[in-house]
Amino acid sequence: MQDMTLDRRSAIGPSGEYTDNRPVEYPYVGKTLLLLFCGYVLTWYLQLGYRIPALGDIRFEFIYALVLTALAFLATPKVDTKCPLLPYVLLYFLVIVIQVPFSHDFARSWDVFVDRIVKFAFMAFFIVSFVRSPNNMKYFLGAFLLACLKMGQEGFVGRISGGLIWENQGIPRLHGSTPLYAHPNSFAGMALGTLPFVYFLWPLSNKYIKAVLLALAGLSLHIVLYTGSRTAYLGILAFVAFAFYTSNYKRKFIGYIVLVLALSVPLIPSDYQDRFKSIFTLEEKEGRSSEARIQILEDAWEIFTDYPFGVGVAAFPKVRAEHFGRSQDTHNLYLEIATNLGIQGLIVVGLMIYKMLSILNYIRTKSKHSLYQLGVNGGSARIKEDLCFIEAVASSIIGFLIIRLTLGLFGMDLYEIYWWFAIGMTFSLHSMFNKIESNFVKF
Please give the pLDDT value at position 412. Answer: 86
Please give the pLDDT value at position 331. Answer: 87
What is the helix, strand, coil percentage profile of the chain, to 5?
Answer: 75, 0, 25
What residue type is assigned to position 381 of the chain? Answer: A
Query: Along the chain (443 residues), what's the average pLDDT of each consecutive run of 10 residues?
Result: 36 43 82 96 94 90 94 90 93 96 95 94 96 96 97 96 88 92 93 96 96 97 93 94 93 92 88 84 61 86 94 94 88 94 96 97 91 68 90 97 94 92 97 84 43
Strand-pairing partners, residue 173, are 166
Question: CB of 109 within 8 A of CB of 414?
Answer: no
Residue 248: phi and psi, rounded to 5, are -90, -5
Q: Where are the domains of the chain?
A: 2-439
Buried b (16+ CB within 10 A) or exposed e, 330-342: bbbbbbbbbbbbb
Please give the pLDDT value at position 74. Answer: 93
Residue 86: phi and psi, rounded to 5, are -55, -45
Residue 275, C-beta contacts closer than 8 angstroms, at least 6 positions apart = 171, 228, 230, 233
Helix (H, G, I), strand (E, B) or coil at 366: helix
Please give the pLDDT value at position 283. Answer: 60
Please give the pLDDT value at position 323. Answer: 92
Question: CB of 270 within 8 A of CB of 278?
Answer: no
Q: What is the sign of the dihedral through the CA atoms of 345, 349, 352 and 355?
A: negative
Please give the pLDDT value at position 279. Answer: 77
Taking the C-alpha atoms of residue 236 and residue 42, their distance in angstroms, rounded to an integer, is: 25
Taking the C-alpha atoms of residue 199 and residue 75, their distance in angstroms, rounded to an integer, is: 35
Residue 356: phi and psi, rounded to 5, are -60, -50
Residue-wise DSSP of 68-87 = HHHHHHHHSPPPP---TTHH
Residue-wise DSSP of 178-214 = SGGG-SHHHHHHHHHTTHHHHHHHGGG--HHHHHHHH
Q: Which of 140, 233, 251 is nearest to 195 (CA)?
A: 233
H/E run at residue 347:
helix 333-377
Compute CA 254 distance to the chain's CA centroid, rounded to the nearest angstrom.
26
